[in-house]
Amino acid sequence: METLLRQTADRLAIMEAKAAYCRYSDYLDVEGMLSVFTADCEFRYGPGEDVIVGIDAIREWYPLRPLRGAVGAHGRGLEAGASGIPSHRRDRNHGSPWS
């Protein structure tokens, strides 16, 4: 039962992080988008793109990438993996940015 509770909590944390990222991307709020990642996250913008490691590296990368077409949870847009969340993460944000 404890394993099921942990898995459920993990899934909820992932869904909250994805929703927060999408809300921030709707407003093209780079700092908000970065707030859902851990300091040592790994980010891939889309298939075939290099993996960017760390929030500071992602922060430097964002101005180089046009953010036009970002529509967050409402449809296609930022192609970070398939979902608007980084393709790989070493850890997750356990707190909700919307608390």
Q: What is the pLDDT of residues 6-61, one digit of tens each?
A: 999 999 999 999 999 999 999 989 899 999 999 999 989 889 999 999 999 999 98
* Domain boundary assignment for the chain: 2-74
Q: What is the CATH number of domain 2-74?
A: 3.10.450.50
**Which pTM was predicted?**
0.59
Q: Tell the residue number behind the tokens 């980010």, with chain if given.
A: 43
Residue 87: band (very low, low, confident or very high) from pLDDT cuts 50, 70, 90: very low
Question: In 3D, which of 38, 82, 83 has the Cα closest to residue 56?
Answer: 38
